[in-house]
Chain A
Amino acid sequence: MLASLKKKETYSRYFASLKFSLYCITHPLDGFWDLTHEKRGSLAAANTILFLTLLVRILKLPYTSFMFMMVYWEGINIFLYLASVVFPLALWCVGNWGLTTLFDGKGTLKQVYMATCYGLTPYPLLQLPMIFLSNVITAEEAEFYVVLGSFSMLWVGVLIVAAMMEIHEYKMGKTVLFTIATVFAMLVMVFILLLFFSMISQGVSYFISLYREIIFRL
């Protein structure tokens, strides 16, 4: 691993795979096919895109004009804020892989993650200039900002669906079906996690109260 970091071609491949994300977002069907089948994407590039997405999401908080983003700083937890991206992403990858692997999906968990991260590319690409834009427009011109924002989200959505279609080698109908199924799988996982955490906290609180009771009687 470390040895490979010293080689020059490692970097050229990394930058080539990162640059390939720009091809993916403009040519989703072709791009996402090549991403896995031609091995033109890399996990490192996917991680970079995810990192950039998180970075832009944090930068939005202090630098977006207050007209578009009103931040109640007292109520911000930066880790929870980042989890709002990472957690659904993790659920999506696991849920999608878990379902498609049962129904002839060709993609592996790694590929699902990679393709989804590549699909996120428009978010940092558009939202970063939008931070600047928000500071030079007035309330009357807010529509530009809103439309651009929804466009970036829509683009991401379309890309992710297209990516799933290509890496699993599905038809359109099946992709839509499994996208919906994945959303339900995510909900089920959230439900189970909540159940799990509430059980654990109940169990812990039982032992805490037991400990308190004993200490009290000593």
Chain B
Amino acid sequence: MRKARKRIGLLLAGVVLTMSLPMAAYAKEGYTYNYDWWMDVQYSPDAYSVAGVFSAKELGLDTVLSAPEGLFVYDRYIYICDTGNNRILELEREAPDSLKVKRIIDSFKGGSGSQTFSAPTDVAVTEDGYIYISDKNNERILKLDMELNYVMEFGKPDDATFDQSMSFNPKKISVDSAGRVYCIAANVNKGLMKFEADGEYSGFTGASKVTFDWTDYVWKKLATKAQREQMESFVPTEYDNLYMDADGFIYVCTSNVSSDELMDGDAAPVRRLNMMGNNILVENGNYPVVGDLYFESGGGFQGPSLFTDVTAMENDIYVVLDKVRGRLFAYDDQGRLLYAFGGIGNIDGYFRRPVALDHMGRDLVVLDSLDGSVTVFVPTLFGDRIFDAIDQFQQGKYYESGETWREVLSMNGNFDLAYIGIGRSLLRQERYQEAMEYFTLKWDGDNYSKAFKQYRKEWVEEHILWLIAGFFLVLCVPLAIGKVKAIKHEIDIADIFRQC
């Protein structure tokens, strides 16, 4: 008995050992992942690697960053709003893996009010050389020139649409090419506040539509007044952050979402607003742009991904930052997930409380508020090739795009978009049958239909003679046989033959 037990023990140890070995290998691969057509998690090679993590120590600063909130990248300069220390850091990226403090902005010249900042939360720099700073607790948005001379400020709007009893606390700002300032202010849920270049307030834009379904309406009708007051009121969602892309469209993100709405695709936590303030974000993916599809609670996390910042690159690839699990999600122009990576933790490439995100070319910069650090990510070969393939397709180099997607595929055979990318490239090269194979593999019915339509047309044109012949055979031959039989029958019963 004891011997048997020992043997079982050995066997168990063996099982545990063999099972733990591949698991150890998988743990590394778990950093970057994607969802396939069936919404199963498919781990992927890393698309980004950490070039460096820079905190006060690495930057050679005396005071540690205190709850920094804002991040802006202009050319090769990174601006950080060190909110708790009332200063703005201007960093220069000298090499891919080195950042140097160029200057510390904690005051400016000119102007009528205070010449220092009080809790600056965001900063924006424009091509024509102005720095815009949202000076939150001083209730103003400052416009300074590069030498830190006061140019003008945008204050609390003197307008009926803005509740005058409320204070004006700008949280996030963005400036378009004409100098118009778009601002997200605290406790304002009517959308983005828009200021003209001359400082005049011109109203709200991009407020989300208030939606409720009829069950809510019925409940409200049935409820007493006291109950009604207890119920949640339907107010538009407040935005968390905004980003002006190269085409002048504004990406906004919000974390005021419920998980039900997210999975229905009604929540739209990421939006792309046009000049009219309408959401024009393309969501052609198999699932809506919501970050993680599964949000089991565990490890101290619960609930869906909550986006705290968004940034968009030149080719309409946009990346969103989830503050719950510290993950970055990159989507292409069709709203399909390219890759997701990151996490909460203390190692490089993980964050403690990520708050802001921006990009420098293809590199990503993430600001960690709790850690007081900036993480710079550079794309790996895998990430670079994905960018290349999308770029080439957008430029009309379909053949090259297909070849690049093949390269991506050789690095990650579980990447659905690579198959579809090759298929789309083949489709453009009019190689329909091959394209159909690739679309079939990854369940892309729409593109498959496009390819199949052309293939079917070609097939019919090639085989038209056979088709007509087949049709003729099916239709005319039984008819002819019937006729022959009828004649034969008539001959058989004809009187003239009967007599002989």
Q: How far is the CA of A138 from the CA of B443 in the complex (A)?
A: 14
The answer to the question of A140 belonging to the interface, with a C-beta cut-off of 8 Å to chain B, is yes
CB of B445 within 8 A of CB of A67, answer: yes
List the A side residues contacting B38 at CB < 8 Å. 72
Which residue of B443, B448, B456 contacts A136 across the interface (Cβ within 8 Å)? B456
CB of A139 within 8 A of CB of B1, answer: no
The smallest beta-carbon distance between B435 and chain A, in angstroms, is: 14
Given contacts A136-B456, A138-B453, contact A67 B448 (CB under 8 A): yes
List the A side residues contacting B247 at CB < 8 Å. none
CB of B456 within 8 A of CB of A139, answer: no
List the B side residues contacting A138 at CB < 8 Å. 449-450, 452-453, 456
What size tier do the contact residues of chain A reach? under 10
Given contacts A72-B38, A136-B456, A218-B1, contact A66 B449 (CB under 8 A): no
Q: How far is the CA of A150 from the CA of B411 in the complex (A)?
A: 44
Residue-wise, chain B 92-115 has the 8 Å CB interface mask toward A (1 for contact) of 000000000000000000000000
Q: Which residue of the partner chain B has the closest CB to A218?
A: B1
Which residue of B440, B443, B445 contacts A139 across the interface (Cβ within 8 Å)? B445
List the B side residues contacting A140 at CB < 8 Å. 449
The answer to the question of A76 belonging to the interface, with a C-beta cut-off of 8 Å to chain B, is no
List the B side residues contacting A66 at CB < 8 Å. 440, 443, 445, 448
List the A side residues contacting B449 at CB < 8 Å. 67, 138-140
Q: Which residue of the partner chain A has the closest CB to B440?
A: A66
**Which of B1, B38, B450, B452 counts the most A-chain CB atoms under 10 A from its CB?**
B452
The smallest beta-carbon distance between B445 and chain A, in angstroms, is: 4
The answer to the question of A78 belonging to the interface, with a C-beta cut-off of 8 Å to chain B, is no
The answer to the question of B127 belonging to the interface, with a C-beta cut-off of 8 Å to chain A, is no
Q: Which residue of the partner chain A has the closest CB to B441?
A: A66
Q: How far is the CA of A35 from the CA of B448 in the complex (A)?
A: 47
Q: How far is the CA of A218 from the CA of B4 in the complex (A)?
A: 12
List the A side residues contacting B446 at CB < 8 Å. 139
List the B side residues contacting A72 at CB < 8 Å. 38
The answer to the question of A5 belonging to the interface, with a C-beta cut-off of 8 Å to chain B, is no
Residue-wise, chain A 94-138 has the 8 Å CB interface mask toward B (1 for contact) of 000000000000000000000000000000000000000000101
What size tier do the contact residues of chain B reach? 10 to 19
Interface residues in B446-464 by Cβ distance below 8 A to A read 446, 448-450, 452-453, 456
Q: How far is the CA of A139 from the CA of B444 in the complex (A)?
A: 11
The smallest beta-carbon distance between B438 and chain A, in angstroms, is: 12
List the A side residues contacting B450 at CB < 8 Å. 138
List the B side residues contacting A214 at CB < 8 Å. none
The answer to the question of A70 belonging to the interface, with a C-beta cut-off of 8 Å to chain B, is yes
Residue-wise, chain B 463-481 has the 8 Å CB interface mask toward A (1 for contact) of 0000000000000000000
Interface residues in B38-87 by Cβ distance below 8 A to A read 38
Q: Which residue of the partner chain B has the closest CB to A67?
A: B445
Which residue of B1, B443, B452, B453 contacts A70 across the interface (Cβ within 8 Å)? B443
Q: How far is the CA of A66 from the CA of B1 in the complex (A)?
A: 56
Q: How far is the CA of A67 from the CA of B443 in the complex (A)?
A: 7
Residue-wise, chain A 122-162 has the 8 Å CB interface mask toward B (1 for contact) of 00000000000000101110000000000000000000000
Residue-wise, chain A 54-88 has the 8 Å CB interface mask toward B (1 for contact) of 00000000000011001010000000000000000
List the B side residues contacting A70 at CB < 8 Å. 443
List the A side residues contacting B440 at CB < 8 Å. 66
Q: How far is the CA of A66 from the CA of B37 in the complex (A)?
A: 13
List the A side residues contacting B448 at CB < 8 Å. 66-67, 139
Q: How far is the CA of A140 from the CA of B452 in the complex (A)?
A: 11
Q: Which residue of the partner chain A has the closest CB to B456?
A: A136
Q: How far is the CA of A55 from the CA of B456 in the complex (A)?
A: 29
Residue-wise, chain B 353-364 has the 8 Å CB interface mask toward A (1 for contact) of 000000000000
Q: How far is the CA of A70 from the CA of B446 in the complex (A)?
A: 14
Q: How far is the CA of A136 from the CA of B463 in the complex (A)?
A: 15
Q: How far is the CA of A138 from the CA of B457 in the complex (A)?
A: 12
Q: Which residue of the partner chain A has the closest CB to B439?
A: A66
Q: How far is the CA of A67 from the CA of B452 in the complex (A)?
A: 12
Q: How far is the CA of A140 from the CA of B453 in the complex (A)?
A: 10
Q: How far is the CA of A140 from the CA of B1 in the complex (A)?
A: 70
Q: How far is the CA of A140 from the CA of B38 in the complex (A)?
A: 23
The smallest beta-carbon distance between A50 and chain B, in angstroms, is: 31
Q: How far is the CA of A136 from the CA of B456 in the complex (A)?
A: 8
Q: How far is the CA of A30 from the CA of B450 in the complex (A)?
A: 47
List the B side residues contacting A67 at CB < 8 Å. 445, 448-449
Q: How far is the CA of A24 from the CA of B371 in the complex (A)?
A: 78
The smallest beta-carbon distance between B3 and chain A, in angstroms, is: 14
**Which of B38, B443, B449, B456 counts the most A-chain CB atoms under 10 A from its CB?**
B449
21 contacts between A and B (CB under 8 A): A66-B440, A66-B443, A66-B445, A66-B448, A67-B445, A67-B448, A67-B449, A70-B443, A72-B38, A136-B456, A138-B449, A138-B450, A138-B452, A138-B453, A138-B456, A139-B445, A139-B446, A139-B448, A139-B449, A140-B449, A218-B1
Known pairs A67-B448, A70-B443, A139-B448; list 7 more (Cβ under 8 Å). A67-B445, A67-B449, A72-B38, A136-B456, A138-B452, A139-B445, A140-B449
